[in-house]
A and B are shown apart, each in its own frame.
Chain A
Amino acid sequence: MLILDLLKNIDWFPIRLSLQVSLIATGVALAIGVVVAWLLARKRFWGKEWVDAAVTLPLVLPPTVLGYYLLVTLGSRSPIGRAFEDLFGFRLTFTVTAAVIAATIHALPLMIKSVRAAFEDVDPSLENAARTLGSSELRVFFTITVPLAKRAILAAAALAFARALGDFGVTIMIAGNIPQKTQTAAVAIYDAVQAGRDEEAAVLAVIISIFSVIILYTTNRIGKGRW
């Protein structure tokens, strides 16, 4: 009954927080990602290569570097941070909102890359056919482009969720490590190891691993068209 005792004694807050943060971050990344991916896949505009590079940057930058930039940009001494404080009455950094931003930024590049590839796979003559049949650009997007890229978008969302769940560096930089407030599972594991609470670290690690395996399995099923 050792396992049951462990599960009973464990603090579920970081797991719950991680799931909530990742879920919201996936939603935000999906909304932003689909729009940006469509622009990159279908439109020609000035500075397109720069936009492409900018959205890929979080993939190659060390998470702590990214976190540092965000801290400087969104912190209470920056114009954006102050504007946010004036508007909503609380600080942006070291809050759950900051954790969501961190997870979103971490998940976005992969999301944009895979959704863009999915949109590029949609035969443009199908979209043209829809246009000649009297469809507006919005209707073409929602009745042709998105349905045909649906699988890839779902798979990208699952991967984005996994990335969001796994973020450590950006989160600890801008959301911090405040127990019962901004401490996500990934951060809690680090904290537990540092404090020598080995059992807690192990249980959290196993739980996160189980989630990750489930997500990977799901992604593969979607990708192969089984769902």
Chain B
Amino acid sequence: MLSVQIVKTYNQSSGKSFVLDVDFQVPAGITVLFGASGSGKSTTLHLVAGLVEPERGRIAVGNDLFFDSSSKINLPIKERRVGYVFQQLALFPHLNVINNVAYGLHKLSKGERLQRASAMLEAFAIKHLAERRPNEISGGEAQRVALARALVTRPRLLLLDEPLSALDAIIKQSLIADLKRLNNELNIPILYVTHDRAEVITLGERVLVYSDGKIIAQGQPMDIFGAPAASSVARLAGVENILQGRVKARHTERGTMTCDFGGLEMEIPLTNAAAGETLTVAIRAGDILLAAEEPRRISARNILAGNITKIEEQDFRVLIEVDCGVALRAMLTHEARTELDLKIGRQVWLAIKTHACFILDSTG
């Protein structure tokens, strides 16, 4: 169990100050710190590792206190036994791979040191790289070396700062599998910083959503991203459609209400918002069905006709923008797009279930 309650103020050159003020407790397993850059995720790692000292607060792993401002405890970095993988990996350029990995074992005898380091290289399937320098290996290999170096000292906490950001999709997948396997073996808290929501969904057992130095949401990734409660979370989570609308009529008997989005009416779940009140609704592009002909006898309550205005190809999917009075975006596979023969200007129909519309905190 890692428990963190810290406050740290940074005076920025602009004259404004940035305040990091977070309070969380996480058990063993992967916890993702998610948020935009500059929201305080990496700073949290620095503070936990001891590279920066908080103004006040308390940091503890299990019963071991790292920092406690009330009892003036500040354990030196070298005694915290924290495994840290830096964003740029920070492999020592003047040492070969095996000596990089063995660096943290300096208290052991030379024989033992090399033995443990090479066992670690074997576990990461990089033993053949032992004699190479960091500039002679690939990005994915360097990533494994950095992980091996951080784990060989048997840390009681692992900190990963955007470890996969520089890698291509295929290498990412294999490293994510490695991380999941490691997580099962290690049974220690792992803090994983990222701004990529795909990584949050594939890796995280828990996610802490950061915004401007604070944690604005926490829980399981699917709960947080599936039904975001605040529009700032929704925007961070990459919900593609966020609409402002006004309640037109309430249908308490059906548990729905009709909402006008300025040229477009939809049926959304009932809340206690009164008629005439404005609210914000989020719809994920993946939750919108796209049909090439007008759908009939379908359960979705909202069938909207419109013309395609934009087609944006991404890695494994296509984002289609349709003008239904208001621009809405739907997510499709490349296959579906080819089969439906979608082109800009073509008329299509969007089907949106009532409960695919999430009503966000109007204050959020």
Using a CB–CB cutoff of 8 Å, the interface residues on chain A facing chain B are: 123, 125-126, 128-136, 139, 143-144, 147-148
Contacts and interface: CB of A to CB of B under 8 A. Distances in A.
A128 B86 contact: yes
Contact of A134 (B51, B86, B93, B107): B107
A130 B106 CA distance: 11
Nearest to B51: A128
A135 B78 contact: yes
B51 A126 contact: no
Contacts of A136: 78
Interface string B208-238: 0000000000000000000000000000000
B90 A129 contact: yes
Contact of B94 (A125, A132, A133, A147): A147
Interface string B73-91: 0000111111110111010
Contact of B81 (A129, A134, A143): A134
24 contacts: A123-B88, A123-B90, A125-B86, A126-B90, A126-B92, A129-B84, A129-B90, A130-B92, A131-B50, A132-B49, A132-B78, A132-B80, A133-B104, A133-B149, A133-B150, A133-B153, A134-B81, A134-B104, A134-B107, A135-B78, A135-B106, A136-B78, A139-B106, A143-B103
Contacts of B104: 133-134
Interface string B180-216: 0000000000000000000000000000000000000
A144 B92 CA distance: 8
Contacts of A133: 103-104, 149-150, 153
Contact of A132 (B82, B88, B92, B107): B82
Those 5 A-B pairs whose CB atoms lie nearest each other, nearest first: A133-B104, A129-B90, A132-B84, A125-B90, A131-B77
A139 to B, nearest CB: 7
B289 to A, nearest CB: 47
Given A134-B78, A136-B78, A128 B90 contact: yes
B93 A148 contact: yes
B94 to A, nearest CB: 5
Interface of B: 49-51, 77-84, 86-88, 90, 92-94, 103-104, 106-107, 149-150, 153
A134 B80 CA distance: 8
A131 B46 CA distance: 12
B90 A134 contact: no
Contacts of A134: 78-79, 81, 104, 106-107, 153
Contacts of B106: 134-135, 139
B51 A131 contact: yes
Nearest to A140: B78
A133 B159 CA distance: 12
Contacts of A135: 78, 103, 106
Contact of B103 (A125, A128, A130): A130
Contacts of B87: 125
Nearest to A131: B77
Given A125-B86, A139-B106, A132 B77 contact: yes
A127 to B, nearest CB: 9
A129 B86 contact: yes
Interface centre among B87, B106, B107, B153, by most chain A C-beta atoms within 10 angstroms, is B106
B200 to A, nearest CB: 24
Nearest to B107: A134
Interface centre among A131, A135, A144, A148, by most chain B C-beta atoms within 10 angstroms, is A131
A158 B167 CA distance: 42
Nearest to B159: A132
Contacts of A132: 49, 51, 77-78, 80, 82-84, 150
A147 B103 CA distance: 14
Contacts of A139: 106
A24 B78 CA distance: 37
Nearest to A132: B84
Given A125-B86, A125-B88, A139-B106, A131 B78 contact: yes
A153 to B, nearest CB: 13
Given A128-B84, A133-B153, 14 more contacts: A128-B49, A128-B90, A129-B84, A129-B86, A129-B90, A130-B103, A131-B51, A132-B77, A132-B150, A134-B78, A134-B106, A134-B153, A139-B106, A148-B93
Nearest to B84: A132
A134 B77 CA distance: 7
Contacts of A144: 92
A128 B104 CA distance: 12
A225 to B, nearest CB: 12
A84 B325 CA distance: 92
A123 B150 CA distance: 18
Contacts of B51: 128, 131-132
A136 B86 CA distance: 19
B219 to A, nearest CB: 29
Interface centre among A125, A130, A132, A136, by most chain B C-beta atoms within 10 angstroms, is A132
Nearest to A126: B90
B41 to A, nearest CB: 16
A133 B86 CA distance: 12
Contacts of A131: 50-51, 77-78
Nearest to B77: A131
A148 B86 CA distance: 19
A125 B92 CA distance: 10
B81 to A, nearest CB: 7
